[in-house]
Amino acid sequence: MGWYLWVLPALSGLTALLETDGVYVGQWMLSRPVVAGPLVGAALGAGFTGVAFGAVFEALSLEASPVGSFVPMNGTVGAVCAVLLCAGPEALPPAAALPAGLALGLGVSALERLLRDRRAALSQEAERSLRSARRVPWAGLLFRSVGTYALAVAAFIYLSVALLGPAVGGLWGALPSALQRGLMAAFDWSPWLASAVLMHALARGR
């Protein structure tokens, strides 16, 4: 019960705070999967799992940058969710946690698009304040923007892991053994795929 009462909420909140570094605060690279994955893994006593998922999701999302209306897969949320699914009470095998993390990384992108629309409304509010009061309440607007984003991401991670963990665990147990072996083979190949993506990115950067 402690997992759902304080461990999962705390780690969901920590990840959400790290996520604000990506756009809102600082941009010190704390929001990268290669940082968040090992950090959450170490907190759960699963450091190697955190490093593995962090490295894979980092490579897969290395070249994905939000430009204009395009919001790519959130590798940080995907990596953290995969670690939580593996190291949590459901103890999903990595071969099941990886596709779940990929799906959740894509799913949170839709949430981020909705939050972008909300930020547009805050911009209009700032414009109205400037016209009427000749000043903009930047502190309040920034607090609302960052707070809304952090709470939304934390809630997404918590609910996704809490609900998806048992569901994916049951689905994994019901899969034919041949399909399980195929997913495990895909997971074994994921570091090589991530390495290929990384080398491609480095080659393009020359």
Cβ–Cβ contacts within 10 Å for residue 8, how many?
21
pTM of the full structure: 0.82
Q: Quick one: pLDDT at residue 142?
A: 73
Q: Enter the tokens of residue 135.
A: 């000043």
- DSSP annotation of 90 reads T
**pLDDT by residue (tens digit) across 109-140?**
888 888 777 766 767 666 677 677 777 776 77
- Which ranges of the chain have pLDDT less than 50? 206
Q: Quick one: pLDDT at residue 129?
A: 74
Q: What is the DSSP string of 32-78?
A: SHHHHHHHHHHHTT-HHHHHHHHHHHHHHTTT---BTTB----HHHH
Cα 24 to its chain centre, rounded Å, is 16
Q: What are the beta bridge partners of residue 67? A: 70
| Composition of the chain by helix, strand, coil, percent to 5 | 80, 0, 20
Spatial contact of 81 and 68, defined as CB atoms under 8 Å apart: no
Q: Quick one: pLDDT at residue 206?
A: 47
